[in-house]
Structure 1
Amino acid sequence: MLRAFLRTEAGSTSVLLAATVLALLWANSPWGDTYEAFWHTPMGISFADASFSLDLRHWVNDGLMTVFFFLIGLEVSYEVRLGQLRDRRLIAVPAIAALGGMLVPAGVYLLFNFGGPGAGGWGVPIATDTAFVLGVLAVVGARCPDPLRAFLLTLAIVDDVLAIMIIALFYTAGVSFPALFAAAALLAAIVTLRWLKIWRAPAYIVLGFALWVATLQSGIHPTLVGIALGVLVFVYAPSDHKLLLAGEAVQEFTSEPSAQAAREAARRVQRAVSVNERLQLRLQPWSAFVIVPVFALANAGVRLDGETLRAALTSPVAIGVALGLLVGKFVGISLGTWLPLRFGWGVLPGNLVWGQLLGGAAVSGIGFTVALFIVDLAFKDPVIHDQAKIGILAGSLMSAVLGWVIFRLAWDRGGVCAPPEAEPEEELPELLSEPVGPEDRVRGPENAKVTIVEYGDFECPYCGRLHPVLEELRRKYPKDVRLVFRHFPLRTLHPRAAPAAIVSEAAADEGRFWEMHDILYDNQRFLTDADLEHYAAELAVQPWTNVPEHVARIARDEESGRESGVRGTPTLFLNGRRHQGPLDLNTLSRAVEELRAPS
């Protein structure tokens, strides 16, 4: 589900960017006056003497964007209950990073604007734009692994929720308590329907629309409704019973095809999947390719003539917003990531190094959606309003460029995972400190001419990519290459690596180490305790027996690795000497050829 969400949002980035450019061209064209006139066109509904009207921009900002935040709520609910965020330890770091990524940008902005006419805009640079960030990560491609996307998505979600709370607390001109009480009553009615397990879509649509209207009338930003309703949508893993019924219905249709059998099969298959997932599948394309681009078209238009740009270059509002996004976000998120890791308050989702985390902190300075919301709420002066928009565009562009550069530099350092706190500048030993012995896990002929010792981590993505390369080397040189695997779990980076290593040693007790080794690398993204127990059951292994002995065995591997100068994974030694080059098949094949050639 997470990857599907990422692909959809990333694919929409070009549409979103095109809409932003179109808004700028429209606002700066000879017909620029029509831009504001069009978006201020009133539109509403009326019944008898009752009427409800907003201009087009507010229908987009307050109405359509509620669907966008509804999808964020759906994603939060799914990831917390079934996805990557079900481990509460993984939430602490991005949540604190998001908090740092709001406090520091606000502070940077106030350095330039405290006490001035733009002081109320301190909330503008605090928000990260989820859609644009995911789009930049798509451009980054393989340099950004899935766990970093999950980390940044969590950060952006927390950021959005906190930003909307800030809007409700600090950017609400006045609160209508009767409307607020009505909204609370409607929300309670929706919660009651959910508790009673009444799943009638019309009831939720009517109550949801009424809740949106009541929240809007209360003075609180109605996009908060979207997140609240998304979180409340029921999500569950498919039960064995529902899967069995779905399978039987499909089998009945394939044996005796008919319209009725097709309808029943479709109904049972659909019911096996939660409403949350079905709604995400239906609404994501609308949000990604229609709603968010229309929002950009309605809000990104600002005049960029010479006079406006000269004023922006010296405007404390524009400078504060731009530096808040570029510098404040980067520093705040980096510190907010380091602190909980330093004091053990949480863990990362795995597979991450500091270069990737810093790149993620940089691209999180792309502010757009909520930032533009706050601009409209914070500034009534059209001049300051436009300067803030220019600051958003400039800061977001520079943040995207900075993030791309950091990712590029981090990638060029090579495909090795190293803990964020362990990147020493030192002369590393060239030779393996502990020769291969009977205690090692060896695969291949004992008299092989080339012995490759790998210090690896079952959750390390680079080890996962190296795994098929080493297997291909064994197939290519079946008599001349043997592999030795030694454990080097990076606990600060990969929280599931140590349990996976323990299970592999339990398999070794049954003579099935390499079978478990292959299973673990083939399923790197699924290493929870339940997953490990499932793999152990497949091999008839008792995973948590003799744990102290297995921990001691892993510790001996780690100690030999540290003495050999291992600082990250994977690290290879060929015939006892450290391999310094790339880890691709061609490079390793040449190294093997040199070692097996007669001297």
Structure 2
Amino acid sequence: MTARVVPDGLRSFLNTESGSTLLLLAATLAGLLWANIPWHDTYDRFWESHFSVTAGRYELGMTLKEWVNDGLMALFFFVIGLEISREFKVGDLRDRRVAAVPAVAAFGGMIVPAVLYYAVNAGGTGSGGWGVPMASDTAFVLGLLAVIGARCPEPLRVFLLTLAVVDDLGAISVVAVFYTRDLSLGPLAVAVLLFALIVAVRWLSVGRGPVYLLLGFLMWVAVLRSGVHPTIAGILLGVLVNVYAPPDTERLRAGELVQALQRDPSPELARRARRSVASTVSVNDLLQHLLHPWTGYVIVPLFALANAGVRLDPESLRRAATSPVTIGIVLGLVVGKFAGITLGTWLPLRLNWGDLPGNLVWGQLLGGAAVAGIGFTVSLFITDLAFADLPQLQSQAKIGILAGSVLAAGLGWLIFKLAWRRGGVCAPPSSSAADLDFTPEPPPPVGERDHVLGPADAPVTLIEYGDYECPYCGAVQPVLDELKARYGDRLRLVFRHFPLQQIHPHAMPAALVAESAAAHGKFWEMHHVLFSHQLELNDRDLLGYSERMGFFPWEDVKELERRVAKDKKAGWRAGVRGTPTFFLNGDQYEGSHDLESFVTAIDAAISAADAADARDTGDAADTADAKDQPRSRSSE
């Protein structure tokens, strides 16, 4: 097994964000439908219902919509604060060079949309909504990238998630500084004192969960009373939560206690083992594991249901079509986000401030910049603050958010599709300038250990050096299937492993599973399963695919690794530096990876093989005639 490039905590965040997208979309559509049915007045009546919490002579009352926006969304931003804290302390943002590019890209993606919006609305009643197109919706963005599939590699998801962390931090700062009204200094001072008390309790290590929960709730109430939006309390509390990488001694102690508990169970030993095991994971990770599903699957969809309800009758659509607010938001999300993130990515790369994760290419980055224009959760959030007393502008802003998000998603999909048609190769960054004086050898002849489709006497042999997590390899598989169906026994396909562990963390485990399947006579079946599930190649996924085919994949790992390494070593000697790399009848194929280009090359190879056969047949006939000619002369 190889080390994971993407941490498990980040992988869990990615999975929950993308997994909750369908629920978020369903809630959005439900809100729109509810607001446009004949009984649409029930939508506003329901969410404007008043709900109060009373404790003695103290009462905290808000509408249901305010409880969602000011209360539950504070928990959402608390989770965002947890992720920000984790990324800065043990994640990608602790490395300046890794964080520099997505951080600058995030700032570009906030500033340019705001400037475009303000340029359209300067001097108008909607000028205060410049913050609406600044934020991206992480759940929708990652969900769309999951639909796009292998065309979007995991390094791009990590890049966009890092960008989203900075984007969320910027958006909540804008809310705190520019969208606070009727500031009350007394409650604000109480909030500051409570925050200082929480910091002191944390530093002195004298408090436990209930203490932090009580102080955090009181701070949220104080911030709510101060006029500052209470979600600020959520993100500040999240940033405070402790993050650490547990030392090896903690893990060893926990293991020893668990073993002792197995030998001699007792209540005291069980309590010590439980506390020791819990100490091996930071409080930040535990809270993210506990809360993130709730925010992703419950709170954000509920927020969408409460805020997405906007009338889409002909009159409101007509007004929105000419509204500077709607036009400014659409321009900001579609053009501003794309231009700002693209410029913000190019600038630090040009100035050598940082590096990209993996080996991303500009086609992928441009597609990611486009889909980052999907602004929903935070955009609706800021709309509610910017136009609190202007319901007509609220409606126009929401229509702009919906229209801009759909257009941004379509633009991203189009860029990914167009970039994909050009083909590409995944290669580790170190290979681009390596082996300048290297003279490649011909690839080894096809042997018994190779994975082959087609007869040995086929006139054309097409060898692929591939990687099961390489998006370009996944994209070319349907083309190879079509070629095999078209040429039949005149084409022999050969697959050899070339896993790029530096940029594809699941490539080696997937190759080992494919080799294990080959030992059970099921290589090509597993081959197609792996390429059909390129975003689902973790150990649990691979074990599931194997068990469904009736075998356990890790029986002889050393032998499997030896076979994969042999393929990769031979490929390296043949000049393979990226995936996919093809050899057509022993010569490296340099064409595009589309069907027409392959067909042209294969037809030429078949014609050359037929001509060579004809020449061989003619030469054999001439040789036979030459042998017979002297005998006929002697007989004369």
TM-score range, shorter chain: 0.7 to 0.9
Aligned partner of 1:416 in structure 2 is 425
In 2 relative to 1, CA 264–51 (structure 1 residues): closer, same or farther, beyond 3 Å? same
1:459 corresponds to which of 502, 506, 524: 502
2:248 aligns to what? Answer: 240
| Counterpart pick for 1:72 among 73, 80, 94 | 80
Deviation at 1:581, TM superposition (A): 6.3
Q: CA deviation at 1:311?
A: 1.4
> Counterpart of 1:228?
236
The Cα RMSD (Å) is 4.2
Give the direction of change, closer, same or farther, for the CA distance of 1:461–1:385 in structure 2 (3 Å limit): same
How far the C-alpha of 1:110 sits from its partner, in A, is: 2.2
- 1:416–1:462 CA contact under 8 A, matched in 2: no
Structure 2's unaligned 5+ residue stretches are 1-8, 451-460, 467-497, 520-560, 617-636
Residue of structure 2 equivalent to 1:27: 35
State the Cα distance separating 1:47 from its structure 2 match: 3.2
1:198 maps to a residue whose letter is V
Q: Number of matched residues?
A: 502
- Partners in 2 of 1:226 and 1:90 — Cα distance? 27
> C-alpha distance in 2, partners of 1:110/1:26?
32
Give the Cα–Cα distance (whole angstroms) in 2 for the partners of residues 127 and 279 of structure 1: 25
In structure 2, the residue matched to 1:292 is: 300
2:129 aligned to which of 121, 137, 145: 121
- Distance in 1, Cα, partners of 2:344 & 2:232: 25
2:51 paired with 1:43: yes
2:436 paired with 1:393 = no
Q: Distance in 2 between matches of 1:218 and 1:518?
A: 64
Q: How does 1:374-393 map to 2 (within 5 A)?
A: 374-379=382-387, 380-393=389-402
1:14 paired to 2:42: no
- Counterpart-to-counterpart distance in 2, 1:216 and 1:311: 34
What corresponds to 2:456 in structure 1? Answer: none
Cross-structure match for 2:411: 402
Q: Cα–Cα, structure 1 residues 463 and 222, in superposed 2: closer, same or farther, change >3 Å?
A: closer
1:542 aligns to what?
Answer: none
Tell me, yes or no, if structure 1 residue 435 matches structure 2 residue 439. Answer: yes
SS of alignment partner, residue 20 of structure 2: helix
Moved more, 334-343 or 241-250: 241-250
Return the index of the structure with the highest Cα Rg: 2
Q: Which amino acid aligns with 2:122?
A: F
Aligned in 2, Cα 1:452/1:390: closer, same or farther, shift over 3 Å? closer
Q: Which amino acid aligns with 2:409?
A: A
Q: Could you say what secondary structure the match of 2:60 adopts?
A: strand
* Alpha-carbon distance in structure 2 between the residues aligned to 1:580 and 1:266: 59
- 2:484 is aligned to none
Answer yes or no: is 1:308 the counterpart of 2:351: no
- Whether 2:148 is the aligned partner of 1:131: answer no
TM-score normalized with structure 1 length: 0.74
**Cα-to-partner distance string for 1:72-116 (whole Å, 9 max, x where unaligned):** 111122223223333221111111111111111112212321111
Structure 2 equivalent of residue 161 of structure 1: 169
Percent identity of equivalent pairs? 57
CA–CA separation in structure 1 for the residues paired with 2:505 and 2:237: 39
Letter matched to residue 293 of structure 1: P
Specify the code of the residue in structure 1 equivalent to 2:372.
S
TM-score by length of 2: 0.70
**Change beyond 3 A, Cα 1:402–1:48:** same
User: Are 1:580 and 2:584 an aligned pair?
Assistant: no
Alpha-carbon displacement from aligned partner over 1:187-234 (angstroms, at most 9, x marks no partner): 111111221123400110011111111112222222122222112111
| Equivalence for 1:368 | 376
Following the alignment from structure 2 to structure 1, what is the Cα–Cα distance between the partners of residues 293 and 464?
48
Give the match's secondary structure for 2:53.
strand
Supply the distance in 2 between the matched residues of 1:378 and 1:451 (Cα, whole angstroms): 60
- Structure 2: distance between partners of 1:463 and 1:250: 31
SS of the residue 2:93 aligns to:
coil
- Superposed CA deviations along residues 276-317 of structure 1, whole A, max 9, x for unmatched, are 111111111111111001100110000111111111111111
Which one-letter code corresponds to 1:322 in the other structure?
Answer: V
Deviation at residue 389 of structure 1 after TM alignment: 0.5
State the Cα distance separating 1:462 from its structure 2 match: 11
Amino acid in the other structure paired with 1:2: L
Please state how far the C-alpha of 1:571 moved relative to its aligned partner: 5.2
The 1-side partners of 2:102 and 2:397 are apart by 27
Q: Would the alpha carbon gap of residues 456 and 18 (structure 1) be closer, same or farther in structure 2, given more than 3 Å must change? A: closer
SS for the counterpart of 1:52 is strand
